[in-house]
Amino acid sequence: MSLSDNTAAILSAADNLLMPTYAPLQIVPDHGVGSTIVDTDGRSYVDLGGGIAVTSLGHSSEVLKKALFDQAEKLWHVSNVFTTEPAMKLAAQLIEHTFADRIFFSNSGAEANEAALKLARRHAFNNGEPERYEIISLHGSFHGRTLFTVSTGGNPNYKTGFGPAIEGITHIAPNDIQALRDAISPATAAVICEPIQGEGGVRPLDRDYLRAVRQLCTEHGALLIFDEVQTGVGRTGTLFAYEQTEVIPDVLTSAKSLGGGMPIGATLAGGACAEALTRATHGTTFGGNPMACAVANAVLDEVRSPAIKRNVHDRGAQIRDGLEQLGKEVGLFAEIRGTGLLIGAELADPFRDRAKEIQIAALAEGVIVLVAGPNVIRFAPALNITEAEVEVGIERLGTALTKVLGR
């Protein structure tokens, strides 16, 4: 795939000007509509990655543009010195449609999780239990890149080279209730988990396991935190994935799809722990700014509609069926898993560790997919992606697979 001088210059500038924390794919997106992106060389791509589960209503959504432009004419930012109508409307929406009693707004999933973890420790402190500060997390989990959240996450590679990790964090195997029984104690402030581990390979936690986690947390006086940064806001077919588990957490975190592309995070808490973070215990300058909240309100209005819920179910089934057809001839996939429009296709043994290679080949054929580790191809497109867009995307992925596998 040849690059124009302009595109090559932009990519070269990125190599020289940005800290090399990422290895960007070798195109430069210029604009997009729906689930189609066009790069600076005029090539178009079906977007089955959704900005890593962020662009919940696609690119250049008319609904979100209107919400953004209307708010831009009024007020952009005032800081946490003031309360604004868009923020209060968004908080009211989240409380109305979840278990939550109070909300804390931030700017990202990492910040939402940081607030949740601090809340858990502060809740114990407020209850006269300063020794109850332990956090139990799962191997394979991902909760963000701040020092606290990366220490809590279950990938040791992300912690290397940053000095001592935050203390008081224990990691156990997912879906192993005996491991949790052995780990939980009077020192446990919270157990944190993703209903579906996203970065860890799109691995759902068993419902029976989640019910047992809830029971053990209740018995031991620990909070249960659900990280729904990736699974939330309609992605799995309900507003939040916990609704499908018969388990209600004490704290839930949201971001990604909530803003449809605008940076926003939210920490939702119910019951007594919702009162834990009081004045001066936590804060943010930009969190809950009126621009992001106005867009998030529009996102919630849309994703709660029956039409979007049906589309998540139908397009998820379409992607699964397409992947099964692509993979069955050579046994490409060991497992296709996930819920709604969060899908992971794990490569079978003969094709292990080639997810990145497939991603690059797919890009060359005009379709954007994600990876979740070296062995899983991940799909998290817009919730309103059309049947035709999925059909074209799967067809292009098939072409890429044929070239990669030499068939």
Query: Is there a single domain that holds both residue 140 and residue 249?
Result: yes
Confidence of residue 202 (pLDDT cuts 50, 70, 90): very high
CATH code for the domain of 376:
3.90.1150.10
The answer to whether 77 and 291 have CB atoms below 8 angstroms apart is yes
Query: Is there a single domain that holds both residue 272 and residue 386?
Result: no
Query: Is there a single domain that holds both residue 186 and residue 229?
Result: yes
Q: How far apart are CA 245 and CA 210, in angstroms?
A: 7
Question: Is residue 66, in this structure, part of any structural domain at all?
Answer: no
**Mean pLDDT value of segment 312-329:** 95
The answer to whether 93 and 294 have CB atoms below 8 angstroms apart is no
Query: Is there a single domain that holds both residue 318 and residue 187?
Result: no
Residue 370 clears pLDDT 90, i.e. is over it: yes
Residue 2 clears pLDDT 80, i.e. is over it: no
Confidence of residue 4 (pLDDT cuts 50, 70, 90): confident
Pick from 46, 47, 41: which is nearest to 26 by CA? 41
HSE-up (13 A, CA, CB side) for residue 63: 18
Query: Is there a single domain that holds both residue 158 and residue 296?
Result: yes
pLDDT at position 407: 61
pLDDT at position 176: 97
Q: Which of 279, 303, 327 is the last residue of a domain?
A: 303
Residue 353 clears pLDDT 80, i.e. is over it: yes
Residue 100 clears pLDDT 90, i.e. is over it: yes
**Mean pLDDT value of segment 219-224:** 98
Q: How many domains does the chain have?
A: 2
Directed axis angle between helix 387-405 and helix 355-364, to 10°?
Answer: 120
Q: What is the mean pLDDT of the chain?
A: 95
**Mean pLDDT value of segment 230-235:** 98
Q: What percent of the chain has pLDDT over 90?
A: 90
HSE-up (13 A, CA, CB side) for residue 356: 7
Residues 25-49: pLDDT tens digits?
Answer: 999 999 999 999 999 999 999 999 9
Cα-based distances in Å from 82 to 88, 107, 197, 284, 286: 11, 17, 36, 12, 11
Query: Is there a single domain that holds both residue 159 and residue 273?
Result: yes
Q: Which of helix, strand or coil describes residue 136?
A: strand
pLDDT at position 405: 85
Q: In this structure, what token pair is assigned to residue 180? A: 């949790």
The answer to whether 66 and 293 have CB atoms below 8 angstroms apart is no
Q: How far apart are CA 387 and CA 383, in angstroms?
A: 11
Query: Is there a single domain that holds both residue 89 and residue 57?
Result: no
Q: Identify the domain containing residue 364 by its residue range.
A: 5-61+306-405
**Mean pLDDT value of segment 4-26:** 89
Query: Is there a single domain that holds both residue 22 and residue 131?
Result: no
Q: How far apart are CA 367 and CA 314, in angstroms?
A: 20
Confidence of residue 1 (pLDDT cuts 50, 70, 90): low
**Mean pLDDT value of segment 299-321:** 97
